[in-house]
Structure 1
Amino acid sequence: MIKFLFIALLITVLTVLVAGLRITIQDSIDLTFNPEFQLSNSQNEEKRLIQTSSSTAEWMTEEQVFGLIRNKIKFMDITDYRSLGTKYKAFKKHEFPVTPAFQDEVMPLINNLTTKYMRKNLEKFTSFRNRYYKSKYGAESSQWLYDQVVTIVKNSNYSDAILSVKQFPHRWEQKSIIARFQGSDDDKSNEVVIVAAHQDSVNMWMPSFGRAPGADDDGSGTVTILEAFRVLVEGQFRPKRSVEFHWYSAEEGGLLGSQAIASHYENLGVDVIAMLQNDMTGYVGKKYPEAFGIVVDFVDPDLTEFIRKLIKSYAQLPARNTKCGYACSDHASWRKAGYPSAFAIEGAFEDSNPYIHTSNDVLDHLSFEHMLEFSKLSVSFAVELSHI
């Protein structure tokens, strides 16, 4: 009987994997923009339109999407956001500084960064069974995170007009979170700088109810920018152009939360000057010396070069170029919308955390001192680009 049950279980697992990898020619879709492409496909009502490259997409069932996650294939679920990046924008291209110029403001702020709150917050954030965007735990963890951001804001001396925080609702329960420092320069009122991370986690075998502490993916990025936000608030940061901190829902579902917000900003005509993604900032790899991983594919090269300059000026680690492929994190949503975006990861992509998407993505594998270097980058990014 035990042998029979084992064989049955093995057949089930193999069936799931094959379903996740199956690609049919008739479902392949040319993504060249066409208004007719916006129409729903009645025979695919139970499927989602999944993009795994910049040129084609495929209608997939939920189980096929889980297959992509299990096989570490990055993707965007563009079902609801097929017009992202198609709006005409008349914004001028902003040039990034030749060199960082606000050391007198940045250094006191980064000197106030500490691992104390990062550890405390991540211990709580990983205590939820998972943070999957469709699960009740995903909604509960998002509300907890929102409450932490609100507490930082309430303990400050800012007026609501200058510092605010809101939840960005989606068609699923887990909300994205946006905290905003309002810029003081009216001539830059339509411009914004964005520092971001994603808050959800996923267990690749049992997404809705499996244990997924997500300490590194992306609890590390979440608390990294939360700590940067804290010191900016306590330091009475007052930017010339607005700065926002974003915690996205549903990154693991195909960059859904960031696509929703990027689409909203694109439709409003908001001029996003620069966006920095923090996704996995806590694991120190084994193959190479400790360093920032600077993603060089599917990013804005000029902004990425400025990121290197910030690291050299304010951090204690060197930078190492790496590639992570198509749609590997939320910066891809902003790039697709036509905005400059960049991505700094914990190290070389091939040397990153091997425990993600499992129940073993826990604090024991992370270095909070490593994460603190990314908080320095987020602080300097916010200050330097808000004043130019």
Structure 2
Amino acid sequence: MRFPTCIVALLCASAASAGLVSEHSSQSVFEPNAQRLVQTAEGITQWISEADKLQLKRSGTRFMDITEFAEEEPITIDVNVTFPSNISFYDVASPLLANISIENMKTNLANFTSFYTRYYKSTTGADSSTWLFNTVKAIAAVDKSIRVFPFHHPWPQTSLIARIPGINSGTPEDRVVVVGAHQDSINLIFPSFFGAPGADDDGSGTVTILETFRTLVSSGFKPNNTVEFHWYSAEEGGLLGSQAIFSEYAKRRINVGAMLQQDMTGFVKKTIDSGKPESLGVITDFVHPELTEFIKKVVSAYASIPYVETECGYACSDHASAAKVGYPSAFVIESTFKDSNPFIHSTRDTIDRLSFEHMLEHAKLTLGFVYELAFANLAGEEE
């Protein structure tokens, strides 16, 4: 669907009269007629407008925006990885679980959702990524070996990477372990004018992995394999930020051994209201099967609630960008997909609808995932 100029003007006028235009919204850049190349399934692409992309999201159609890679030869990398058959480090890692702070997650999420929108093309989206960078940098300051740096894009909001170097760093044995979440938010009515607090999508995942990072760093964590925490920009635009990062990693032949995405970790009301047990939703489609089986073991060992298998479709979050270039990737969400948060992409995706106790379970999973793989021998036989 295209938005004619008159419709855009009407939306602007309606938003202003309703008091919904933020002081920053005039600095948000949404170009409804800009043409983008999107992929809605493997090998199925089409050129559509930015407005059409919004319509795809409204309809529930998932896609990658591959415009920046249209002229490039696809690059993939084969990483030989052997995942552990058993949980091996629970006795060492489990004391850290008590240090995960719900209060920290509440405070960080309150700050993160205070930005009117985190739309990746907006000035407030850029401001929110600066806030996140400064917060991560402050946590990492206790260990000079940890590098925290922005990954810049053509749009204002940057992605963010925090790298904890492993003992194996720089050797053929190193298998980089990545935990990811996306930091941007979007309002699907009109991104440049309507607020998008994005508390669950994906403020919850952002602060969940942030708190896991803090817990590990404050413990003096020194892994064997390099560990990276990623906060991606522009997931809502078609996985743009994570595609840029993993494409660059593939070009540089970086051996990412495992990637776990945390996108929406706090909404449980639909699950509880339907009489189902609270659980962690392990995505089983378009993921790496062996890594996913290992994650189930991590949930069983580290979390206080069980997992439930569920599916989310093609390109449903940033793990798809890792898989696109050949990296083993997986995704855990707050519930079954059909019981996930119905208020996302709107002004109603707010903190009061979330369970921080449930986010704590995601943080436990994330800590266990990192700890087990950080000390495992993941390097397979070289071909």
Aligned residues of 1:331 and 1:343 also touching (Cα < 8 A): yes
Amino acid aligned to 2:364: K
Secondary structure in 1 matching 2:222: coil
The equivalent of 1:171 in structure 2 is: 154
Bigger shift: residues 209-218 or 105-114: 105-114
Aligned residues of 2:118 and 2:124 also touching (Cα < 8 A): yes
Aligned residues of 1:135 and 1:209 also touching (Cα < 8 A): no
1:139 corresponds to which of 94, 111, 126: 126
User: In the TM superposition, what is the alpha-carbon distance from 1:164 to its structure 2 partner?
Assistant: 1.1
Q: Could you list the runs of 5+ residues in structure 2 that have no partner in the other structure?
A: 1-5, 12-32, 377-383
User: In the TM superposition, what is the alpha-carbon distance from 1:85 to its structure 2 partner?
Assistant: 8.9
Which string of whole-angstrom CA distances, capped at 9 and with x for unpartnered residues, describes residues 81-116 of structure 1? 348893353532x11111110112211111210101
- The answer on 1:309 being equivalent to 2:297 is yes
Alignment of 1:118-133 (within 5 A): 118-133=105-120
User: In the TM superposition, what is the alpha-carbon distance from 1:197 to its structure 2 partner?
Assistant: 0.2
User: In the TM superposition, what is the alpha-carbon distance from 1:209 to its structure 2 partner?
Assistant: 2.5
2:231 corresponds to which of 247, 261, 266: 247
- The answer on 1:212 being equivalent to 2:200 is no
Separation in structure 2 between the aligned mates of residue 149 and residue 209 of structure 1, nearest angstrom: 29
Change (3 A) 1:247 1:90: closer
Which string of whole-angstrom CA distances, capped at 9 and with x for unpartnered residues, describes residues 194-223 of structure 1? 001000000001112211000000000000
Separation in structure 2 between the aligned mates of residue 188 and residue 109 of structure 1, nearest angstrom: 30
The equivalent of 1:349 in structure 2 is: 337
Q: Select the structure with the greater relative contact order (CA < 8 A; seq sep ≥ 6).
A: 2
Percent sequence identity is: 50
User: In the TM superposition, what is the alpha-carbon distance from 1:185 to its structure 2 partner?
Assistant: 2.2
Change (3 A) 1:233 1:176: same
Change (3 A) 1:121 1:84: farther
Aligned residues of 1:85 and 1:338 also touching (Cα < 8 A): no
The equivalent of 2:30 in structure 1 is: none
The equivalent of 2:352 in structure 1 is: 364
Secondary structure in 2 matching 1:201: coil
Alignment of 1:18-167 (within 5 A): 46-82=34-70, 86-87=74-75, 89-92=77-80, 94-154=81-141, 156=142, 158-159=143-144, 162-167=145-150
Change (3 A) 1:83 1:89: farther
Aligned residues of 2:168 and 2:174 also touching (Cα < 8 A): no
Aligned residues of 1:274 and 1:341 also touching (Cα < 8 A): yes
The equivalent of 2:14 in structure 1 is: none
**TM-score by structure 1 length?**
0.85
Secondary structure in 1 matching 2:67: coil
Which string of whole-angstrom CA distances, capped at 9 and with x for unpartnered residues, describes residues 51-104 of structure 1? 111120110111111111222221110111348893353532x11111110112
Aligned residues of 2:76 and 2:250 also touching (Cα < 8 A): no
Separation in structure 2 between the aligned mates of residue 263 and residue 341 of structure 1, nearest angstrom: 14
Separation in structure 1 between the aligned mates of residue 261 and residue 222 of structure 2, nearest angstrom: 22
Amino acid aligned to 2:262: N
- The answer on 1:295 being equivalent to 2:279 is no
Secondary structure in 2 matching 1:276: strand
Give the total of aligned pairs: 343
Q: Could you list the runs of 5+ residues in structure 1 that have no partner in the other structure?
A: 1-7, 14-44
Bigger shift: residues 336-345 or 96-105: 96-105
Secondary structure in 2 matching 1:228: helix
Which 4+ residue blocks in structure 1 deviate beyond 3 angstroms? 82-86, 88-91, 186-190
The equivalent of 1:259 in structure 2 is: 243
Secondary structure in 2 matching 1:139: helix
Separation in structure 2 between the aligned mates of residue 306 and residue 85 of structure 1, nearest angstrom: 33
Aligned residues of 1:220 and 1:279 also touching (Cα < 8 A): yes
Separation in structure 2 between the aligned mates of residue 314 and residue 85 of structure 1, nearest angstrom: 41
The equivalent of 2:164 in structure 1 is: 181
Separation in structure 2 between the aligned mates of residue 373 and residue 310 of structure 1, nearest angstrom: 11
Change (3 A) 1:84 1:294: farther
**TM-score by structure 2 length?**
0.86
User: In the TM superposition, what is the alpha-carbon distance from 1:189 to its structure 2 partner?
Assistant: 6.3
Amino acid aligned to 1:272: V
